[in-house]
Structure 1
Amino acid sequence: MPDIDQIPADPEIRRQWIKYQLKIRGASLASIAREHQVDRNILSTALKRGSPRWDYEIAKVLGLTPQKLWPERYDQNGLPIWNRQK
């Protein structure tokens, strides 16, 4: 399991870090997509914009929670934060 102190704060760097962490575990966005029978682009989009379902699946492979991996996307209770324009 990755040390959460090593998870990059910068979103772009974090995306690359996540891909690397998946790779060293023998996984990839494509393999997760195949497992769930969805297009790989759905997982790629989740890395950029977030999606509770796919955030969970990616984090699960890394042995983390979505809240630990994307603290800006989840509140202290682990619930998704939805940025709605009013």
Structure 2
Amino acid sequence: MSGPQDWHREQIKAAVRMNGTTLSALAKQAGYEPSSFYWALRRPWPAIEQIIAIHLGRRPQDIWPSRYDRRGIPHAGRRQKPSAHTAERHRQKAEAV
């Protein structure tokens, strides 16, 4: 018998929309390129999964159980930090304010 299934990406997009925004808007608010949130629906990206989960009032492991262990820790080898490009954009955005 298999365990819990990951939410389908269309379910995630619909849930985000039902909560009043879009993945693109969430990405912009968090300082990411809009396409990065869509990539996170297809491949593991813990930082973005956390943002989406918080918006939905859930834990990332509730939405993507295959990507996390029982304790809610991302499986090894997963992207943990934003890219250098994203980090630079965050820094520039902070300086501009």
Length-normalised TM-score, structure 2: 0.70
Q: Aligned residues: percent identity?
A: 35
1:78 is aligned to: 72
Q: Whole-Å Cα distance in 1 between the matches of residues 31 and 19 of structure 2? A: 20
Distance of 2:48 and 2:36 partners within structure 1: 8
Cα offset, 1:76, TM superposition: 0.4
Question: Which protein has the larger Cα radius of gyration, Structure 1 or Structure 2?
Answer: 2
Distance 1:55 1:81 in 2: 13
**Structure 2 regions of 5+ residues with no counterpart?**
79-97
5 Å-filtered alignment, 1:15-30, equals 15-30=9-24
Moved >6 Å (runs of 4+): none
Q: Using CA pairs under 8 Å that are at least 6 residues apart, name the structure with larger relative contact order, 1 or 2.
A: 2
Inter-partner Cα distance in structure 2 for 1:83 and 1:37: 24
Number of equivalent positions: 75
Gaps of 5+ in 1: 1-7
In the superposition, the TM-score normalised over structure 1's length comes to 0.78
